[in-house]
């Protein structure tokens, strides 16, 4: 027995020693990550080189999700699903005045979607870079419409000899569910204010209404004209030639014997057809060779941004700043993560700007289809308070600032939009589905008693009661009247004048200017300058994006995410089932529209009062 106890005692001591050793190794690993994170915060830049930007995923005004989750995802080797627009524009503008950066290489293969106003912001930054006499080279294995808009801004556009340039224009197609809903026995009750408010059409029709067809055709044609004009100007092409390229693409491909790249070259859309290695050699000609990397002297976007941000902190102007609050995504109640607008969380950022004595003016950058009326109202009130504090507010519209997105812009001192911003959609709707007929088909019936006329009236397994429908209609009409009043006050017009151009109708930015819904056409930089002018700041001021503060741990892991990736790779982590991506690649295009629609209604269903100012006006 004594020997057995001694054995277990020694075993326990051995395990305790092992625990301490493992604990020490873990601390050493974390310390290594700290050192890597700190040392990697200001990377080394070549004395003469090129800035390389490779947008990954969609180009957005604000990254979606929690910062820590994004960092860990990237550390595992996953491609970023989004690239921040301001990261791209800040890096390009900083590089324009940086003597070490002699050229810009734009690679678009990993780029997803981007709204035309976002692409305009990028184009403006690239023009600024070129104005300094520096070369811009664009390269792609292929160019889809958004990718080509960006590539077209370069001095030299190179396409792979097996690539193509596809310009399908803009469209708006939606799924219509009426027949499916009828088969399921679901009743969808929608109440709206505004004859052009088309949110309910997929549930009550099999096709697009004449009203929606009219408004959609108008802003789609405006977007296509804006695209052709911008790209034509950049490539010195007649905008009509781009329309002819799109309309005659099939015939041109047949005549070229299927040589898609040759068709693009013949149309003057690209400078030349070149392989990756040939583009690499061209960059070596421009900025010199990097013998260690067997390529050209270069710095990546992320590394250059860290250096630029460090320099920016060193030259900050104390006490004179413009605060930028980004309102991007759908509007929901309460506090919401980045990439979604929360009534409380976005209002809190505006409050932070109002209470900061160094912030002298605010730019509210909006890219939103709207959502909860309550959330929009909370943000609206905070914008009013910022102005009441003597700080000018400039609303800057991105790709989409419609319905609730327009609601929060209304009280601003000045509203700027791109000519191709989708805005307006001043209208309100409410929706309640009921499933009593669905359950009845399964042999399930609901019956009972209540104490008031409203008892049980909110159950989704009973027919919608006339009293509830009347309440919803009155609430929607009241919200619409309030919406009109808010806009009329901000635009210095009567509610009747606003009602004539509201009714839920969507407008392109250039039409919104004509109708008085915006003050002038301009981008983000124009909005910043307008804010500085109104605040009388001259040219000596900072621009500070106001966002939730990261904890020390979150900031550390963000800085060290590259090191995490190397550790995981060394341990064999981050592996994925090879079959899943293959299946996803085949099924995703077919299921994506339905998935997006279901996800959208799931989010909107979380709005307690079910009253929404939302624009279903995205385009492909």
Residue 172 CA to residue 177 CA, distance in Å, equals 16
End-to-end CA distance of the chain: 78
Name which of 315, 280, 366 is nearest 94 in CA terms. Answer: 315
Helix axes 561-570 and 67-75, enclosed angle (nearest 10): 40
Helix axes 67-75 and 552-559, enclosed angle (nearest 10): 30
State yes or no: is 265 an active-site residue. Answer: no
The pair of three-digit structure tokens given for residue 150, joined into one six-digit string: 């960006």
Q: What is the DSSP letter of 326?
A: E
DSSP 526-549: HHHHHHHHHTT-TT--EEEE--PP
Tokens 């710095």: give the residue: 299
State yes or no: is 403 an active-site residue. Answer: yes
Q: Name the active-site residue from 86, 134, 135, 197.
A: 197
Query: Is the Cβ–Cβ distance between 148 and 116 less than 8 Å?
Result: no
Q: Name the active-site residue from 198, 216, 396, 403.
A: 403
The pair of three-digit structure tokens given for residue 17, joined into one six-digit string: 């020693």
Residue 461 CA to residue 306 CA, distance in Å, equals 56
Determine how β-strand 187-193 pairs with β-strand 428-434: antiparallel
Q: Is 410 helix (H, G, I), strand (E, B) or coil?
A: coil
Q: Is 443 left (phi over 0), alpha (psi -120 to 50) or beta?
A: left
In terms of Cβ atoms closer than 10 Å to its own Cβ (0-12, 13-18, 19+), residue 215 is buried
In terms of Cβ atoms closer than 10 Å to its own Cβ (0-12, 13-18, 19+), residue 441 is exposed
Residue 490 CA to residue 88 CA, distance in Å, equals 33
Q: Maximum distance among all alpha carbons in the chain?
A: 97
Residues forming a β-bridge with 375: none
CB atoms within 10 A of CB 28: 10
In terms of Cβ atoms closer than 10 Å to its own Cβ (0-12, 13-18, 19+), residue 544 is middle
Cα 53 to Cα 111, 237, 399: the distances in Å are 10, 25, 21
Catalytic (active-site) positions: 197, 403
């Amino acid at each position: 027995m004594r020997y057995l106890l001694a054995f277990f005692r020694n075993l326990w001591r051995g395990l305790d020693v092992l625990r301490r050793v493992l604990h020490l190794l873990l601390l050493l690993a974390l310390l290594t990550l700290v050192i890597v994170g700190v040392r990697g915060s200001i990377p080394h830049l070549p004395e003469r080189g090129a800035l390389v930007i490779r947008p990954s995923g969609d180009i957005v005004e604000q990254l979606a999700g929690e910062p820590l989750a994004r960092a860990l995802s990237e550390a595992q080797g996953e491609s970023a699903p989004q690239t921040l627009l301001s990261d791209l524009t800040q890096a390009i503008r900083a590089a324009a005045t940086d003597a070490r950066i002699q050229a810009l290489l734009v690679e678009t293969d990993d780029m997803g979607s981007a709204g035309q106003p976002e692409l305009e912001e990028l184009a403006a930054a690239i023009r600024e870079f070129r104005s300094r006499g520096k070369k811009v080279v664009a390269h792609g294995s292929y160019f889809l419409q958004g990718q080509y808009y960006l590539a077209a801004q370069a001095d030299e556009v190179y396409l792979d000899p097996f690539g193509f340039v596809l310009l399908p224009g803009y469209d708006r197609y939606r799924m219509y569910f009426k027949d499916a809903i009828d088969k399921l026995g679901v009743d969808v009750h929608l109440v709206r204010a505004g004859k052009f408010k088309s949110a309910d059409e997929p549930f009550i029709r099999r096709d697009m209404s004449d009203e929606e067809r009219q408004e959609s055709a108008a802003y789609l044609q405006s977007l296509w004209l804006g695209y052709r004009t911008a790209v034509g100007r950049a490539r010195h092409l007649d905008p009509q030639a781009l329309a002819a390229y799109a309309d005659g693409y099939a015939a041109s491909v047949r005549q070229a014997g299927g040589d898609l790249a040759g068709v693009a070259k013949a149309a003057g859309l690209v400078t030349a057809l070149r392989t990756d290695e040939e583009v690499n050699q061209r960059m070596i000609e421009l900025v010199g060779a990097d013998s260690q990397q067997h390529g050209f002297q270069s710095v990546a976007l992320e590394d250059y941004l860290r250096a630029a941000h460090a320099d920016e902190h060193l030259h900050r102007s104390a006490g004179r700043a413009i605060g930028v609050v980004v309102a991007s995504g759908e509007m929901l109640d309460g506090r919401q993560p980045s990439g979604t607008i929360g009534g409380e969380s976005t209002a809190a950022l505006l409050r932070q700007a109002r209470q900061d004595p160094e912030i002298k003016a605010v730019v509210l950058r909006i890219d939103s289809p709207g959502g909860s009326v309550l959330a929009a109202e909370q943000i609206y009130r905070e914008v009013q308070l910022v102005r009441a504090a003597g700080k000018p507010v400039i609303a800057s519209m991105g790709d989409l600032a419609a319905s609730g997105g327009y609601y929060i812009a209304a009280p601003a001192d000045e509203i700027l939009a791109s000519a191709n911003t989708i805005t307006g959609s001043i209208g309100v709707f409410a929706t309640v589905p009921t499933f009593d007929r669905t359950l009845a088909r399964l042999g399930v019936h609901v019956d009972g008693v209540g104490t008031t006329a409203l008892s049980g009236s909110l159950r989704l397994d009973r027919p919608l009661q006339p009293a509830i429908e009347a309440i919803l209609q009155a609430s929607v009409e009241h919200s619409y009247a309030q919406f009109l009043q808010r806009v009329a006050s901000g635009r210095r017009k009567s509610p009747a004048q606003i009602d004539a151009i509201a009714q839920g109708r969507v407008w392109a930015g250039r039409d919104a200017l004509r109708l008085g819904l915006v003050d002038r056409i301009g981008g983000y930089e124009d909005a910043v300058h307008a804010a500085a002018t109104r605040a009388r700041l001259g040219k000596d001021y900072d621009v500070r994006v106001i966002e939730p503060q990261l904890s020390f741990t979150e900031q550390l892991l963000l800085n060290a995410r590259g090191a995490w990736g190397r550790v995981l790779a060394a341990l064999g982590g981050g592996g994925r089932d090879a079959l899943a991506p293959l299946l996803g690649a085949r099924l995703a295009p077919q299921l994506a529209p339905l998935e997006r629609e279901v996800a959208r209604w799931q989010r909107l269903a979380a709005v307690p009062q079910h009253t929404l100012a939302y624009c279903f006006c995205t385009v492909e």
